[in-house]
Amino acid sequence: MLPKDFISMNKKIVIGIPPKAHLTLALDEVNGFREIGYDCNYITYGRNDQSINVFNKLIGVIKNAINIVFALYKFSPAYLYLNSRFEPVASTRDAISLLIIKALYFKNVKIIIKTHGSDFAVFSPDRGFFIKQVVSFLAKNVNAWFFLSSEEKDIVYKNNPSLGRNAYVTANVVDSKRSVHSRAFQTEFKLPDNKFKFLFVGRIVREKGVFAILESIPHLPFKDKCQFIFVGDGPDLNELIALSEQLKVTDNVSFVGFINDDKCDHFYANTDALVFPTFFNEGFPMALFKAVAAGLPIITTRIRAAKDHLIEPDNTLWVSGDSTSTLIDAITRLYENPGLRESMSLNNRKLGEEFSRHKVVTQMHQTLSTLA
């Protein structure tokens, strides 16, 4: 239910969306705001080409900020909402952008930032005077900062109470309808009918727990009845493939490589469980919550948004980062207990409804309405 003063609010909002990565996620929010009555425009805001030098990156940030200023004058919104990250480089970009916007745009506009991941090195004493000034500037000029987990919000408040007082917890939109069970899809990616399919989706880096998954396989007495499917690319992929050969588990694994989101989403409806033992500083890992919404049983680590939303054994079995022994125990427990898998699947489908476009955007609106 929207607040009674919704009609009297200025419901015009400009949303800064990324040029490529997470574009669908950002557009889901754009459409969600429109559906609940906002007059919503969007403009590109995000990373420059990482291959260019620092000077050209700075020029890109300045041009982008000026484009936002033009959009603000044309639209006169109540809110400017930027998708970003909370870490030294992105926060510096945000501070430069807001400095330019504040200098050139003379109307009142509330600044909202949603962070898709964080690196709290920004609070490290050895980051020096410049980063401290960046954080201080953002604390004074950002009216609401959305983080994707309670842990992130708490760390921010502990290190910078001024910024923390404007910090809120939200979620990402997850649409389970984008994952469809399909015989054609299973054939295309050689997903076996006669094996239990454990899925990993994400960047292939050690911090995502991929090596622990692989190292657990030789210890599973039922390994030949299973297929471990790795979807994603990354700097550690070749080392992971080499390790699979060394461990003699090549018949038990599939390395799919990078798949765009539209097609990748279908893996959740065509596999049997997600194993995601990340010890990376995840915010709201989309692979995890897409699996939840699709009703997959889950094995993951107790960090950030996972800790906020998942309960063992209702939704997940917890493991300890790159601990192979805890993975072996969890994989065995899940594989050998069909009743556990069934209850977990039902619970996760129900939980996934909490991340619908309407629910996520309505909750964000309730925060925005307090800033008016």
Sign of the CA dihedral 279, 259, 345, 270? negative
Percentage of the chain beyond pLDDT 70 is 96
- pTM score, whole prediction: 0.93
User: If you average pLDDT over residues 324-341, what whole number do you get?
Assistant: 98
**Domain 4-173+356-368 adopts which CATH fold?**
Rossmann fold (3.40.50)
Domain boundaries, the chain: 4-173+356-368, 176-355
The pLDDT tens digits of the residues spanning 139-197 come to 999 999 999 999 999 999 999 999 999 999 999 999 999 999 999 999 999 999 999 99
The pLDDT tens digits of the residues spanning 281-314 come to 778 999 999 999 999 999 999 989 999 999 999 9
The pLDDT tens digits of the residues spanning 99-112 come to 999 999 999 999 99
- Decide if 4-173+356-368 and 176-355 have a common fold: yes
For residue 1, pLDDT over 60 is answered with no
User: If you average pLDDT over residues 235-263, what whole number do you get?
Assistant: 97
Query: pLDDT class for 40, splitting at 50, 70, 90?
Result: very high
Q: Which three-class secondary structure string do you get for the chain?
A: CCCHHHCCCCCEEEEEECCCCCHHHHHHHHHHHHHCCCEEEEEECCCCCCCCCHHHHHHHHHHHHHHHHHHHHHHCCCEEEEEEEECHHHHHHHHHHHHHHHHHCCCCCEEEEEEEEECHHHHCHHHHHHHHHHHHHHHHHCCEEEECCHHHHHHHHHHCHHHHCCEEECCCCCCHHHCCCCHHHHHHCCCCCCCEEEEEECCCCHHHCHHHHHHHHHHCCCHHHEEEEEECCCCCHHHHHHHHHHCCCHHHEEEEECCCHHHHHHHHHHCCEEEECCCCCCCCCHHHHHHHHCCCCEEEECCHHHHHHCCCCCCEEEECCCCHHHHHHHHHHHHCCHHHHHHHHHHHHHHHHHHCHHHHHHHHHHHHCCCC
Instruction: Please state which CATH number belongs to domain 176-355.
Output: 3.40.50.2000
For residue 208, pLDDT over 80 is answered with yes
User: If you average pLDDT over residues 328-352, what whole number do you get?
Assistant: 98
Structure tokens at 1: 């239910």
Residue, of 52 and 190, whose pLDDT is higher: 190
| Res 335: pLDDT | 98
| Res 281: pLDDT | 79
Q: In what order do the strands lie in the sheet with 12-17?
A: 39-44, 12-17, 79-86, 110-118, 144-147, 167-169
CA 343 vs CA 272, 289, 327: distances in Å: 13, 17, 20
CA 209 vs CA 70, 101, 138, 308, 321: distances in Å: 45, 41, 34, 20, 6
